[in-house]
Amino acid sequence: MRIEYHPAIEGELAEIRDYYNEQSRNLGDDFINEFERQVLRIAAMPSRWMVFRGDTRRALMKRFPYLILFRVVNDAVIRITVIKHERRHPAYGMNRS
């Protein structure tokens, strides 16, 4: 399964990584590692994750309070559309495709 990322994801991940690295040494790198592991879990079984809204599904990260929102584009492609803190407004990023 091929993974595509919305263009805003790169900036969001960098911002989150930098924030966590300021809080504790290498914590931001731990966040990125967990994000990448979670994306691999999503790719392995995309239908496992709860439908959030319409055709968008959500996966919760285990150690960090973040959601990964994604869509199954077709049998070969998953598109990660949003990475957001659980306390962020529910509509954040929902206009992305």
**Domains contained in the chain, number:** 1
The model's pTM: 0.90
CATH of the domain at 25: 3.30.2310.20
List the domain range (segments joined by +) for residue 9: 2-85
Q: What local confidence, expressed as pLDDT, does residue 87 receive?
A: 92
pLDDT tens digit sequence for 66-85: 999 999 999 899 999 999 99
In a domain, 92, yes or no: no
On whether residue 28 sits in a domain, the answer given is yes
**21-40 per-residue burial string, b: 16 or more CB within 10 A, e: under 16:** beeeeeebeebeeebeebbe
Q: For the chain, give the percent of residues with pLDDT over 90.
A: 85
CB atoms within 10 A of CB 46: 16
Question: Is residue 24 in some structural domain?
Answer: yes
Q: Flag the least confident range among 31-35, 69-73, 92-96.
A: 92-96
